[in-house]
Homo-oligomer: A and B are copies of this chain.
Amino acid sequence: MALKAQVLYDFTAEPGNNELTVKEGETVTITNQNIGGGWIEAQNSRGEVGLVPEDYIEVRECGDDFSISSLSHPDTACFSRNLASISVHSASNGNDPWSVWNTDPSGGSNNNWASNPEGTQTGKNAPDPWGSHGHPQAYQGPGAEDDEWDDDWDDMKSTGGYVESESGDSGAMQRGGAHATSMKISLNKFPGFSKSGPELYLLCKQFAKGKDKLPIYTGEVGPVWSYPESQLDCIVADPKKGSKMYGLKSYIEYQITPSNTNRPVNHRYKHFDWLYERLLDKFGSAIPIPSLPDKQVTGRFEEEFIKMRMERLQGWMTRMCRHPVVSSSEVFQLFLTYKDEKDWKMGKRKAEKDETVGVMIFSTIEPEAPDLDLIEVEQKCDQFSRFTKAMDDGVKEILTVGHEHWKRCTGPLPKEYQRIGKAFQNLSTVFTSSGYQGESTLTDALTAAGKTYEDIAQMVAEQPKKDLHFLMETNNEYKGLLGCFPDTIGVHKAAIDKVKEADKLVATSKIAPQDKVTMGKRASTMSYALQAEMNHFHSNRIYDYNRVMQLYLEEQVKFYETIAAKLRQAHSQFTTM
């Protein structure tokens, strides 16, 4: 007897992906229950067969009454469903892969800043410069069919273990604008934070005896992390297409070659995501862990999409490698240097069991300098808060003007140069028809001048990819990074508030007088960590902005020089002799 199912929610198939579009209330026949990865194969009443997310349908024996799910609102329903279906569901959110951006154009970051009550939010209403017509335009197309690359959640059930951690959505900015914004409801917003405030650390009686101590030294610029002698680096390259589920679903595997072993390892996007979640869990209270590049970046062509994602994964990995604490962590090293499948799986299990996560990371931090008093701690914290907010505004301004410049350079401006070029060439054609002798020098020169302006049109249109792109990428990366600070600084402020309450807690005998002293010492440790992190941030920022400005201006110089040279050549053809 054929197995029938009732469709609970609308699902729109993605082209070329063997999926089947179904409507809420529709009845389908299950043709294969053993697809795996959260999918089943079904046939609709018109005889069409394709994959449908299994959580979108309710299976019943044929002839049974329908028992419609009581979870009639899909958003509510998502709570109880696993991420595979949610991910798919949100992908069905219309044909425009950028629609989720449009609904929340400013990304998650505003919420973060807004939740920080002291801040004025000047950049709040700025349009997302990475919206539907901006910089990523180059990688975007109406017929984006690349969600087949985006199946990072599709074997969650079979591998197990990911679900819990992956359901935790970071509060970070890039993530906020990502794929599942409107659907993925954070059950566990900030693992080490929502489970427990900083008091878990401030009042902890006994720290776990770990090996991984994080010393903080006093450098020229103040507190600094311990930096390795040679900086780790890695190359993300050689994306390869793989497939599973009898070739029905495919994915991309990247080759990552770390500079310490020089031995490549392979990872899919979902492994990066796993790493991100681990790093966020472990270090997020002390170190801003930027989100991974958006899963939903789409491309007109597979090649463009893959190139773009790889470029951004490279940027993310480089930033992680550059961080002395992150790069030397066991989980990061596992990711870069695992020997084989068994090694990887064991390492994963160990990492997921790590208990020194959330605010407890501060228990491993050991500043060499004397304790700071609370006023100093608070001053530093406020200073960093002001700075990161101001920089967030500045970065957003650059993204906004860069976005507009991008649009002009790829839209009206080259069109205008093209029209100038055409007008010169048309006049040349008219002149050729004059029947007058000795015209050809002028008409040849006019045609050449016209073609030069057409060349310039093309140069103008292509230039943003050569320079503005990197300026935008760097600022976008910093926007993501800065979006993490409100959480990191929030932990810090909460700790300061706790220490301020200490007297009252002692008075009401909720803590012992000695606990108050401990709290102060630990707040000082947290401040050293924040200062070390800010100094790390500043030093990287100075390097990054010098580098990106050099690159930008270098390409701009080349651009204008090339135009000048082309025009000089065109000029030489005219003669008044």
Residues of chain A whose beta carbon lies under 8 Å from any beta carbon of chain B:
220-221, 383, 386-387, 390-391, 393-395, 397-398, 400-402, 404-405, 408, 412-413, 416, 419-420, 422-424, 426-427, 429-431, 433-439, 441-442, 445-446, 449, 534-535, 538-539, 541-543, 545-547, 549-550, 553-554, 556-557, 560-561, 563-564, 567-568, 570-571, 574-576
Q: Could you tell me if A397 and B423 are in contact, using CB atoms closer than 8 angstroms? A: yes
Q: Could you tell me if B557 and A568 are in contact, using CB atoms closer than 8 angstroms? A: yes
Complex partner residue of A553 from B400, B422, B429, B449, CB under 8 angstroms: B449
Q: Could you tell me if B408 and A412 are in contact, using CB atoms closer than 8 angstroms? A: yes
10 residue pairs from A and B, CB less than 8 Å apart: A221-B437, A386-B433, A387-B430, A391-B430, A394-B423, A408-B416, A441-B546, A547-B574, A549-B574, A561-B564
Bound complex: CA A394 to CA B405 (Å): 31
Task: List, in ascending order, chain B residues with CB within 8 A of A383's CB.
Answer: 435
Q: Could you tell me if B442 and A545 are in contact, using CB atoms closer than 8 angstroms? A: yes
Complex partner residue of A576 from B398, B420, B534, B543, CB under 8 angstroms: B543
Task: List, in ascending order, chain B residues with CB within 8 A of A570's CB.
Answer: 553
> Smallest distance from the beta carbon of A459 to chain B beta carbons, Å?
11
Known contacts A434-B387, A561-B564; A401 and B420 CB within 8 A of each other: yes
Q: Could you tell me if B571 and A445 are in contact, using CB atoms closer than 8 angstroms? A: no
> Smallest distance from the beta carbon of A183 to chain B beta carbons, Å?
34
Task: List, in ascending order, chain B residues with CB within 8 A of A386's CB.
Answer: 433
The 7 residue pairs across chains A and B that have the minimum distance between CB atoms: A553-B571, A560-B564, A436-B538, A394-B427, A394-B430, A561-B564, A401-B419
Counting every copy of the chain, the complex holds: 2
Bound complex: CA A397 to CA B424 (Å): 9
Task: List, in ascending order, chain B residues with CB within 8 A of A393's CB.
Answer: 430
Bound complex: CA A546 to CA B431 (Å): 12
Task: List, in ascending order, chain B residues with CB within 8 A of A434's CB.
Answer: 387, 538
Task: List, in ascending order, chain B residues with CB within 8 A of A420's CB.
Answer: 401-402, 405
Bound complex: CA A75 to CA B395 (Å): 62
Q: Could you tell me if A560 and B567 are in contact, using CB atoms closer than 8 angstroms? A: yes
In the complex, residue of chain B having the shortest beta-carbon distance to the beta carbon of A534: B436
Q: Could you tell me if A416 and B433 are in contact, using CB atoms closer than 8 angstroms? A: no
Complex partner residue of A567 from B397, B423, B553, CB under 8 angstroms: B553
In the complex, residue of chain B having the shortest beta-carbon distance to the beta carbon of A417: B405
Q: Could you tell me if A439 and B560 are in contact, using CB atoms closer than 8 angstroms? A: no
Q: Could you tell me if A449 and B561 are in contact, using CB atoms closer than 8 angstroms? A: no
Bound complex: CA A372 to CA B40 (Å): 90
Of A387, A553, A571, most buried by chain B (CB within 10 Å of CB) is: A553
Q: Could you tell me if B221 and A436 are in contact, using CB atoms closer than 8 angstroms? A: yes
> Smallest distance from the beta carbon of A547 to chain B beta carbons, Å?
5
> Smallest distance from the beta carbon of A548 to chain B beta carbons, Å?
9
> Smallest distance from the beta carbon of A509 to chain B beta carbons, Å?
41
In the complex, residue of chain B having the shortest beta-carbon distance to the beta carbon of A400: B423
Bound complex: CA A560 to CA B405 (Å): 18
In the complex, residue of chain B having the shortest beta-carbon distance to the beta carbon of A397: B423
Bound complex: CA A85 to CA B154 (Å): 86
> Smallest distance from the beta carbon of A60 to chain B beta carbons, Å?
59
Task: List, in ascending order, chain B residues with CB within 8 A of A404's CB.
Answer: 416, 419
Q: Could you tell me if A401 and B423 are in contact, using CB atoms closer than 8 angstroms? A: yes
Task: List, in ascending order, chain B residues with CB within 8 A of A431's CB.
Answer: 391, 541, 545
> Smallest distance from the beta carbon of A68 to chain B beta carbons, Å?
54
Complex partner residue of A556 from B221, B419, B567, CB under 8 angstroms: B567
Bound complex: CA A564 to CA B559 (Å): 8
Bound complex: CA A401 to CA B417 (Å): 9
Task: List, in ascending order, chain B residues with CB within 8 A of A574's CB.
Answer: 546-547, 549-550, 553
Known contacts A390-B430, A542-B442; A557 and B564 CB within 8 A of each other: yes
Task: List, in ascending order, chain B residues with CB within 8 A of A553's CB.
Answer: 449, 567-568, 570-571, 574
Bound complex: CA A568 to CA B550 (Å): 10
> Smallest distance from the beta carbon of A420 to chain B beta carbons, Å?
5
Bound complex: CA A543 to CA B574 (Å): 10
Bound complex: CA A350 to CA B549 (Å): 74
Q: Could you tell me if B557 and A560 are in contact, using CB atoms closer than 8 angstroms? A: no
Task: List, in ascending order, chain B residues with CB within 8 A of A543's CB.
Answer: 576
Of A220, A395, A543, A568, most buried by chain B (CB within 10 Å of CB) is: A568
Task: List, in ascending order, chain B residues with CB within 8 A of A437's CB.
Answer: 220-221
Q: Could you tell me if A427 and B568 are in contact, using CB atoms closer than 8 angstroms? A: no
Q: Could you tell me if B545 and A446 are in contact, using CB atoms closer than 8 angstroms? A: yes
Task: List, in ascending order, chain B residues with CB within 8 A of A390's CB.
Answer: 430, 433
Complex partner residue of A550 from B397, B400, B571, CB under 8 angstroms: B571
Task: List, in ascending order, chain B residues with CB within 8 A of A561's CB.
Answer: 560-561, 564
Task: List, in ascending order, chain B residues with CB within 8 A of A535's CB.
Answer: 436
Bound complex: CA A103 to CA B329 (Å): 76
Task: List, in ascending order, chain B residues with CB within 8 A of A426's CB.
Answer: 394, 397
Task: List, in ascending order, chain B residues with CB within 8 A of A550's CB.
Answer: 571, 574, 576
Task: List, in ascending order, chain B residues with CB within 8 A of A395's CB.
Answer: 427
Task: List, in ascending order, chain B residues with CB within 8 A of A387's CB.
Answer: 430, 433-435
Task: List, in ascending order, chain B residues with CB within 8 A of A539's CB.
Answer: 436
In the complex, residue of chain B having the shortest beta-carbon distance to the beta carbon of A418: B401
Q: Could you tell me if B416 and A398 are in contact, using CB atoms closer than 8 angstroms? A: no
> Smallest distance from the beta carbon of A452 to chain B beta carbons, Å?
9
